[in-house]
Amino acid sequence: MTLKLRVYPDPILTKVSELVTDFGDELKTFCEQLFVCMKESNGVGLSAVQVGRLEQIIVMHVPGCTPKIIINPEIIEASEETFNYSEGCLSVPGFYDDRDRPFEIKLKYQHLDGSEITDTFHHLEAFCIQHEMDHLEGKLFIDDLSPLKKSRIRKIIDKTIRRNKNGK
């Protein structure tokens, strides 16, 4: 079974994800598939909702860091200092926009086996986790853009959808 990436404006991307309560073998298999889906799409981070599963699960592999599975995350602390990066999303392919996010976050989350940990992330990993946590709340990075920028993106995407429907 291979997972299918959900793309904007798929309505599932606006839904809030539930806490994971079942830390069994199925969760492990799902996370492995989530990694495969992320790699095939050349992503560094992916949340479960982006493949249609409304549970608080994130996988992340930032170049130079170890791959991570983050379940039921909660930000305990965020730094004043910010980090600016060109933000993109596998569910909004082809679009990027510069944005500031806290440079460092203290995060409480669970591992695959359900054990709890509090850890500090910074730089691109912190940026990625914050982006993915927005997904868990049904938010996309384009929601924070000006209405003008958002409507431009929407127009381009609508055009692409229409073109694909009319048999490419």
Q: Which does 73 bind (CB under 5 to 8 A by kind): ligand QAP, Co ion, none?
A: none
Catalytic residue selected from 55, 87, 125, 132: 132
Q: Which does 68 bind (CB under 5 to 8 A by kind): Co ion, ligand QAP, none?
A: none
**Residue from 5, 7, 6, 8 nearest 154 by CA:** 8
Q: Is the CB of 27 or the CB of 51 nearer to Co ion?
A: 51
Rounded to whole angstroms, the Cα distance separating 67 from 132 reads 15
Q: Is the CB of 96 or the CB of 120 nearer to ligand QAP?
A: 96
How near is the Cβ of 114 to ligand QAP at its closest, in Å?
A: 25
Q: Which does 112 bind (CB under 5 to 8 A by kind): Co ion, ligand QAP, none?
A: none
Q: Any idea which residue has 């490419």 for tokens?
A: 168
Q: Is the CB of 100 or the CB of 116 nearer to ligand QAP?
A: 100
Print burial letters for 79-108: b (CB count within 10 Å at least 16), e (below 16).
eeeebebebbbbbbeebebebebbbbbebe
Q: Which does 146 bind (CB under 5 to 8 A by kind): Co ion, ligand QAP, none?
A: none
Residues that bind ligand QAP (CB under 6 A): 41-45, 85, 87-90, 93-94, 124, 127-128, 131
Q: Which of residues 55-94 bind Co ion (CB under 5 A)?
A: 89
> Quick count: other Cβ atoms within 10 Å of Cβ 164?
9
81 in active site: no
How near is the Cβ of 92 to ligand QAP at its closest, in Å?
A: 7
User: Could you give the residue numbers annotated as active site?
Assistant: 132
Give me the residues that bind Co ion (CB under 5 A), please. Answer: 89
